[in-house]
Amino acid sequence: MAEEPLSSHMIMHVDMDAFFAAVEKHDNPDLEGRPVIVGARPGSRGVVAACSYEARRFGLHSAMPISTAYKLCPHEVYIRPRMKRYAHVSRRVMAALAMVSPHVEPTSIDEAFVDVTGLDRHSGGLEETGRRTKDAVFKETGLTCSVGIGPNRLIAKIASDFEKPDGLTVVRPGAVLDFLAPLSVSVLRGVGKKLGQQLEGAGIRTVLDLRKRTEPELARRFGAAAGKKLFAQARGIASDLVGGTGTRKSISKETTFNEDVRDRDVVRETMRSQATAVGSIARREGTAGRTVNVKIRLAGFETHTRSRTFEKATNLDGEIFRQGWTLYQKSGFTNRPVRLIGIGISNLEKKSQLELFSEKSDKERRLAEAKDRIVARFGKNAVGLRSPRRDPLT
């Protein structure tokens, strides 16, 4: 195989195998060889977060409703997620990757991109780089991972998924088009159930099928943004940058009740504790949101959102709660049983706690709070307020 040109980047994608289940097995050797399912409690509302390869043989997969999983696999090991433990192992994984290359971008708790451009020139080839990475991760954690290496993030990601578990796939620049051609379009980013069905309806099953369509046709059928992305991905074109900004855009908390809730007090107290959690994360991260969002899910999975944007950003629990509760009360759904309630902030701005607290005196704050309570209870007319499009939060 010809060497790739010096200018081309090489990106590695590392994906831990059945991560949560693998950690549980590692911590408890008695589970070896048994189907292990990490997720919601059987009998409750929830899904499979991860399952071992033994469980997959029974047809289980992540995101499957736990009730369905239990029907398929009633006698196996069900474990509630231990996120702190997984986060700890995740840090060890990332540390191992950092020994391979300084350019590591974690994209989730169990995945990362690594820029390995040029590494093969002084360490015996891309395959060798991949093997060294897998060894480093195993040595550090005792867990296996699958590794894909390609000229950009798209190819690296698809390659890491190509031979799971414990796989290693290298796709050199000259081999990209042939590698992609026979694969299902569902390997592409942004192609899920809905778009997959639409593509199928248009006679597009494989990446090669997709490559035969023009960009204008794809844009017309699937929308401008999706069409453009599909056209590029079909040709193996994607970003080769590792180490993006990684700044988050929103903070939210949501709760699915085990049974739909009619009691408004339960909804209110749930929102209050969610707002406290959201506020404390925002303050810890030195950020605040101008927009407060509420998510309401009713029977039949009917989901609605309400949001309101203010002039000033907040990260105060009480304000987040008050605005969220007002949005819920004005949603028009308060007489319907609630399956899920959630609250969050977006439109984030960097802000110190000090700045936020100093923006208003205590007296002003108490006055505003009292006014808000009256408005929430009796409507705007009760305090003779007009309704500007944007009110300051404070």
Partner DNA sequence: TCTGGGGTCCTTAATCTA
Partner DNA sequence: TCTGTAGATTAAGGACCC
The residue (of 45 and 131) whose beta carbon lies closer to DNA is 45
94-153: which residues touch DNA (CB under 7 A)? 107-111
CB of 365 to DNA, least distance (A): 22
Token pair of 188 as six digits = 């592409």
Distance CA 118, CA 116 (A): 6
CB of 386 to DNA, least distance (A): 12
- Cα torsion for 199, 202, 207, 209, to the nearest 10°? 180
Residue 145 phi, psi dihedral angles, 5° rounding: -140, 165
The residue (of 47 and 177) whose beta carbon lies closer to DNA is 47
| Residue 353 binds DNA (CB under 7 A) | no
Closest Cα to residue 222, out of 200, 254, 241? 200
The residue (of 143 and 251) whose beta carbon lies closer to DNA is 251
Please say whether the beta carbons of 299 and 336 come within 8 A. Answer: yes
Nearest 5°: the CA angle 309, 288, 284 is: 155
| Residue 266 binds DNA (CB under 7 A) | no
The residue (of 69 and 171) whose beta carbon lies closer to DNA is 69
Question: Which helix (DSSP H) or strand (DSSP E) does residue 69 occupy?
Answer: helix 66-72
- Residue reference for tokens 């309630």: 341
- Report the 10 Å Cβ neighbour count for 306: 18
| Residue 223 binds DNA (CB under 7 A) | yes
Pick one of 96, 114, 234, 340: the residue that binds DNA (CB under 7 A): 340
The residue (of 209 and 254) whose beta carbon lies closer to DNA is 254
24-63: which residues touch DNA (CB under 7 A)? 40, 45-47, 49, 62-63
Per the annotation, the verdict on 24 as an active-site residue is: no
Determine which one of 76, 111, 269, 319 is catalytic. Answer: 111
| Residue 255 binds DNA (CB under 7 A) | yes
| Residue 17 binds DNA (CB under 7 A) | no
- Report the 10 Å Cβ neighbour count for 205: 16
Pick one of 291, 329, 353, 394: the residue that binds DNA (CB under 7 A): 291
The residue (of 132 and 228) whose beta carbon lies closer to DNA is 228
Count Cα neighbours of 383 within 13 Å in the Cβ-side half-sphere.
Answer: 16
Amino acid letter for position 328: Y
C-alpha torsion sign, points 31, 35, 40, 41: negative
Bridge-based pairing of strands 111-115 and 145-150 is unpaired
Bridge-based pairing of strands 104-108 and 48-51 is unpaired
| Residue 207 binds DNA (CB under 7 A) | no
Pick one of 254, 268, 368, 394: the residue that binds DNA (CB under 7 A): 254
- Report the 10 Å Cβ neighbour count for 106: 17
Bridge-based pairing of strands 77-79 and 36-39 is parallel
| Residue 194 binds DNA (CB under 7 A) | yes
Q: Which alpha helices (H) appear in 116-183, and where do they start and end?
A: 126-141, 153-160, 176-180
CB of 118 to DNA, least distance (A): 26
Total interface residues for DNA by CB under 7 A: 57
300-319: which residues touch DNA (CB under 7 A)? 300-301, 303-309
The residue (of 225 and 383) whose beta carbon lies closer to DNA is 225
Strand partners, 338: 261, 298
CB of 121 to DNA, least distance (A): 29
Tell me the window of 72-80, 145-153, 175-183, 340-348 that interacts with DNA (CB under 7 A).
Answer: 340-348
| Residue 329 binds DNA (CB under 7 A) | no
Q: How would you write 348-371 as a 3-class SS string?
A: EEECCHHHHHHCCCHHHHHHHHHH
CB of 107 to DNA, least distance (A): 6
| Residue 225 binds DNA (CB under 7 A) | yes
The answer, yes or no, to whether the previous bond of 165 is cis (omega within 30 of 0) is yes
| Residue 250 binds DNA (CB under 7 A) | yes
Residues identified as active-site: 111
Contact positions toward DNA, by CB under 7 A? 40, 45-47, 49, 62-63, 65, 67-68, 107-111, 157, 188-196, 223-226, 248-256, 281, 290-291, 300-301, 303-309, 340, 342, 344, 346-347, 389-390
